[in-house]
Amino acid sequence: MKRIICLILLFFVLFSGQAYSFWIWTPKSKKWVNPKSMPKPTPEAQFDFAKNLYDLKDYKEARKEFLKLLKAYPESYEASEGQYYIGRIEEEQGRLYEAFLAYQMVIDKYPFSDRIQEIIDREFKIAEDFMSGAKRKALGVPLPVENPAIEIFSKVVENSTYGPLAAKAQYKLGLLLKGLMRYYEAEDAFNKVINNYPGSEWADASKYQLAVTRAATSRGPSYDQGAAKEAEAQFEEFIKEHPDATLSRQAEKNLQNLREKEAKANYDIAQFYEKQQAYQAARVYYEDVINNYPASDWSVKAVEKLRVMEEKK
């Protein structure tokens, strides 16, 4: 039996060709182990070894050693640092979503870390990259998944409810949802900025975007006059509160467009009644267009329609 064991050890020593590629018997675990897979005797030593590989940009080996640190010394301060550097490795190699997950693990598992604000900053930047068009990938291939920025901006707000980036992240979440035509979720996001961060620079911008989102809702498959009215009121309030703001000039244009659409909607209703020979109802809607939307193109058309109707009497 001893002879067989000696032959096995001799085989590993002679044919491995690598340092630490042989196996040894450990009485404590009663297992054969490869010294190369064993951690250093202290978390400090293991971290320093992994960090040296990171500094040399040997990311593959550094990642292995940081993971070894996490497994062997999960409760140590060095473990929190190791988890942070795993995120840095993923980010350096362009695996942005994986970097976010690694960073979030620091916040979830090591809330005592002094890197929390830096990590929130990095998560925010990753969310902005995804918002700008970066794709989540697996093995280098883009995945057909929901924009990860939605999840990441939400986490930034959660991680730092009243921190320096919370209001901005909440606002950008609203912009992202609006861009995806998820209007009701976007409205909720903008309302949270207004209600939770009323003193922030993003509160006023959110009021404007809330009106834009309401206006977009009114342009659904069927014209939503109620949503259009709400949008009008919000634009009017914004212009009143910020008469000199650059956004107010855009708000005035949006308000004009909304009124033009509303005038058209009432004009269309008048035409419907006219075709049904319900002339009195048609007259009510034509007059509404003329009286309430005098600057619109439809007002001129409504005047002409009434003139023709009068001639037919």
Residue 200: is its pLDDT beyond 60? Answer: yes
Would you state the pLDDT for residue 308? 79
- pLDDT tens digit sequence for 213-231: 988 876 655 556 666 677 6
Would you state the pLDDT for residue 270? 81
- pTM listed for this prediction: 0.71
Mean pLDDT in residue range 182-192? 95
Residue 232 confidence class, pLDDT cut points 50, 70, 90: low
* The CATH number, out of the four listed (1.20.20.10, 3.40.50.720, 1.25.40.10, 3.50.50.100), of the domain defined by the range 41-160: 1.25.40.10
Residue 18 confidence class, pLDDT cut points 50, 70, 90: very low
Mean pLDDT in residue range 106-119? 96
Would you state the pLDDT for residue 17? 46
**Secondary structure, 3-state, the chain:** CHHHHHHHHHHHHHHCCCCCCCCEEECCCCEEECHHHCCCCCHHHHHHHHHHHHHCCCHHHHHHHHHHHHHHCCCCHHHHHHHHHHHHHHHHCCCHHHHHHHHHHHHHHCCCCCCHHHHHHHHHHHHHHHHCCCCCEECCEECCCCCHHHHHHHHHHHHCCCCCCHHHHHHHHHHHHHHCCCHHHHHHHHHHHHHHCCCCHHHHHHHHHHHHHHHHHHCCCCCCHHHHHHHHHHHHHHHHHCCCCHHHHHHHHHHHHHHHHHHHHHHHHHHHHHHCCCHHHHHHHHHHHHHHCCCCHHHHHHHHHHHHHHHHC
Residue 187: is its pLDDT beyond 70? Answer: yes
Whole-number average pLDDT of the chain: 83
Domain with CATH 1.25.40.10 in the chain: 41-160
